[in-house]
Amino acid sequence: MAAPESGDGNNGAARMVTLISSDNTRFEVEAAAASLSQTLQLTILDGGGGGGDGIPLPNVDSATLSKVLEYCIKHAPAAANGGAPNATAVDRAELERFDNEFVNIDQSVLYSLIMAAHNLEIEGLQSLVAKKVADMIKGKSPMEIRRTLGFPDPTPEEQAEMNAHMLEYGWAYE
Per the CB < 8 A criterion, the answer to whether 43 and 80 are in contact is: no
Q: Please spell the DSSP secondary structure of 15-47, one letter per residue.
A: PEEEEE-TT--EEEEEHHHHTTSHHHHHHHHTT
Instruction: Kindly provide the b/e burial profile for residues 34-62, where b requires at least 16 CB atoms within 10 angstroms of the residue's own CB.
Output: bbbbeebbeebeeeebeeeebbebeebeb
Q: Tell me which stretch binds another protein (CB under 8 A): 28-36, 73-81, 89-97, 122-130.
A: 122-130
Stretch of residues binding another protein (CB under 8 A), selected from 27-35, 51-59, 67-75, 79-87: 51-59
In single-letter form, the type of residue at position 129 comes to V
What are the DSSP calls for 104-116, one per residue? -S-HHHHHHHHHH
Assess 116 for contact with another protein (CB under 8 A): yes
- Residue 105 as a binder of another protein (CB under 8 A): the answer is no
74 sits near another protein (criterion: CB under 8 A): no
72 in contact with another protein (CB under 8 A): no
Contact positions with another protein (CB under 8 A) in 3-22: 22
Tell me how far, at minimum, the Cβ of 113 lies from another protein, in Å: 10
Under the criterion CB under 8 A, does residue 39 sit at the interface with another protein? yes
DSSP 8: S
Count of Cβ atoms closer than 10 Å to residue 71 Cβ: 23
Q: Which residues are at the interface with another protein (CB under 8 A)? A: 22, 39, 57-61, 64, 107-108, 111-112, 114-116, 118-120, 126-127, 130-131, 133-135, 137-142, 145-146, 149-151, 158, 161-162, 165, 169-174
